Amino acid sequence: MSVAERDADSEKDGGKKAKKAKSGGGIGETLKVVIQALIIALLFRTFLYHPFNIPSGSMMPTLLVGDYLFVSKFSYGYSRYSFPVDLSFIKGRVWEGEGPQRGDIAVFRLPRDPGTDYIKRVIGMPGDRIQMRNGLLYINDEPVERERVEDYAGANAFGQEIEVAQYRETLPNGVSYMTLDLTQNGEKDNTGVYEVPDDHYFMMGDNRDNSSDSRFLNFVGYVPEENFVGRAEVIFFSVDEETHVWEFWRWPWSLRYDRLFEGL
């Protein structure tokens, strides 16, 4: 074999090795990027924002089935329930923020079943006296301002369109939101007085006649502060309740465009 032929073969072998190295390097870089992205997503999910989807109509009309939210974990500080696994050695809250405020929409762990997340509105603070009288909310024996507004167009359990009485409720600290009144003299339209214990909160759904909340003491009851996961901040995605989120081919018709990135 001549010198020229040997040089040609050497160049071919070198080219093959370079291609293999480039291929191996490309796969390695891709894996590195994927791992870094997963780590960032895990840190985001663990310490900053908890993604949460709305499974029921208990917070209508504020939140609808098919809404996807970001819940800020740092707003209230961190507790044993702030992380993907239960860190039972954490007592109370660490790096505590201002704490839940009246009117906040908050995600919390159900006291009787800490493995279940609930989302409701903070109505009663520690030491408050809460009562419902003829569908009107009282806080510390004072009626909460409530104004009748236009009916809400909804649907019943059979999919038939109905008009639901809707009210604008304004809490003593000025937080204002809409509530629904499906039926007069509903099960919890008249209650006794609830006295909120220290370090606990009274939670209610905006859909007053269709919400399992703190009015049901044996089911939800008063929520300990350490059970709070975080405060709902923004709707980042919303799709009608008849569409699964993974059915992306239906998004052009099923997305609720007016609800995307809506602050709460």
**Closest CA relative to residue 66, chosen from 55, 76, 74, 75:** 55
Residue 22 is among the residues annotated as catalytic for this protein: no
DSSP 115-165: EEEEEEEEEE-TT-EEEEETTEEEETTEEPEEEEEEEEEEE-TTS-EEEEE
CB 94 within 8 A of CB 150: no
Among the options 79, 120, 211, 238, which is catalytic? 120
Cβ neighbours around 24 below 10 Å, total:
10
Compute the distance between CA of residue 176 and CA of residue 185 in angstroms, rounded to an integer.
23
* Residue 58 bears catalytic tag: yes
Helix (H) or strand (E) holding 251: helix 251-254
How far is Cα 214 from Cα 208, in angstroms, rounded to an integer? 11
Instruction: Give me the active site residues, please.
Output: 58, 120
